[in-house]
């Protein structure tokens, strides 16, 4: 369960960061709100070139739960409501507005894509709601839920097909 200052998973309270617009009803693309609801992880994306010496300890287990793929240099995520590929993985260069998934900072070294506004995406309702590594402790996101890398890895190592991200305001 995710709240404004932390997330509880498997009996453990983990510090996290949420959107700069707080937690609530998502109103529009770019509003900075982390959407209230019950969400599934659909896909995990990783920077394979930034693995630690032991690799991703949760890798093999996560493969059976969700789609798992490497983030390539040309990968992006569409955040343009006018794009037919809105709220989907795209290849860069891309003529519509998008977010680069391969970043200089470690924020997207591990990205768990949530099912928010995905099937089908409704233009303008919000895109790219992820679990990812935080920029710094509790620094607000654009609407995602962010954790310290070790905590995100701990969560993913224990994720099961029945697990959900429950966001409450």
Total domain count, the chain: 1
Percent of the chain with pLDDT over 70: 92
Residue ranges making up the domain that contains 30: 2-167
> By three-state DSSP, how is residue 121 classified?
coil
pLDDT at 57: 52
Contact 91, 76 (CB under 8 A): yes
Q: What is the CATH number of the domain that holds 123?
A: 2.40.440
Express each pLDDT in 40-57 by its tens digit: 999 999 998 887 655 555
Show Cβ contacts of residue 63 under 8 Å, excluding neighbours closer than 6 positions.
none
CA distance linking residue 20 with residue 41, whole number of Å: 22
Express each pLDDT in 46-87 by its tens digit: 998 887 655 555 555 555 557 888 999 999 999 999 999 999
Q: What is the pTM of this model?
A: 0.93
* Closest C-alpha to 161, from 64, 67, 69, 68: 64
């Amino acid at each position: 369960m995710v709240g404004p200052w932390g997330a509880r998973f498997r009996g453990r309270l983990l510090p996290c960061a949420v959107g700069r617009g707080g937690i609530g009803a998502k109103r529009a693309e770019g509003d900075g709100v982390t959407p209230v609801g019950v969400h599934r992880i659909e896909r995990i994306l990783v920077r394979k070139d930034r693995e630690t010496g032991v690799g991703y300890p949760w890798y093999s287990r996560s493969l059976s739960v969700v789609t798992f793929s490497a983030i390539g240099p040309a990968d992006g995520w569409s955040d343009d409501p006018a794009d037919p590929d809105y709220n989907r993985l795209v290849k860069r260069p891309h003529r519509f507005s998008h977010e680069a998934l391969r970043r200089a900072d470690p924020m997207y070294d591990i990205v768990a894509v949530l099912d928010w506004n995905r099937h089908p995406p409704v233009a303008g309702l919000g895109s790219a709601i992820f679990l990812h590594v935080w920029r710094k402790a509790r620094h607000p996101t654009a609407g995602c839920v962010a954790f310290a890398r070790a905590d995100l890895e701990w969560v993913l190592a224990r994720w099961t097909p029945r697990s959900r991200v429950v966001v409450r305001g």
